[in-house]
């Protein structure tokens, strides 16, 4: 007997994971999203020298991408009909990242109507926090159901 397809909240979370995997930008990053619960996300990244600045550590653009994605998906896990848009994001860099695995953990903080606030942190291979950020996300007019990649997994 085939496993039962997820429904409700679980189906939405799996569809967001599919949306993340389908985004063209993610062809540039070896990463996997997991929505771990309502308002929670985890993205596993594998970083290498392609993401380094001239001094041999990961460039800030990669920090932003990882933190923004984790916070965004934590917030959008609570919104089943519309795509959210980042309207502001603040970063705090605490240590340089080198090549290797990094986990971005996102967590919804507040908001349930039009504006959502979520935070994220980056954890390096040694278990140390390398950065954190807080973002503000706004409901858009873009329906999730119309986006390529937003679908429940069979």
Those residues whose C-beta lies under 8 Å from the C-beta of residue 112, and which sit 6 or more positions away, are 78
pLDDT of res. 3:
52
- Global pTM reads 0.93
pLDDT of res. 151:
82
Mean pLDDT, 10 residues at a time, over the chain (154 residues)? 67 97 96 98 98 97 98 98 97 97 98 96 97 98 95 60
pLDDT of res. 6:
63
* Alpha helices in the chain, H assignment, sequence order: 8-22, 60-76
Q: Walk me through the domains of the chain, giving residue ranges and CATH numbers.
A: 8-145 (3.10.129.10)
């Amino acid at each position: 007997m085939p496993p039962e397809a997820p429904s409700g909240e679980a189906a939405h979370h799996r569809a967001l994971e599919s949306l993340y995997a389908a985004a063209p930008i993610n062809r540039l990053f070896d990463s996997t999203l997991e929505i771990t619960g309502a308002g929670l996300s985890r993205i596993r990244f594998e970083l290498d020298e392609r993401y380094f600045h001239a001094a041999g550590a990961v460039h800030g653009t990669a920090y932003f991408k990882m933190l923004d994605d984790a916070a965004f998906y934590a917030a959008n896990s609570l919104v089943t009909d519309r795509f959210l848009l980042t309207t502001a994001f603040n970063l705090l860099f605490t240590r340089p990242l080198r090549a290797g695995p990094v986990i971005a953990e996102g967590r919804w903080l507040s908001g349930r109507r039009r504006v959502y606030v979520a935070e994220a942190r980056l954890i390096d291979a040694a278990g140390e926090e390398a950065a954190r950020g807080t973002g503000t996300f706004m409901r858009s007019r873009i329906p999730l159901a119309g986006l390529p990649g937003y679908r429940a997994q069979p």
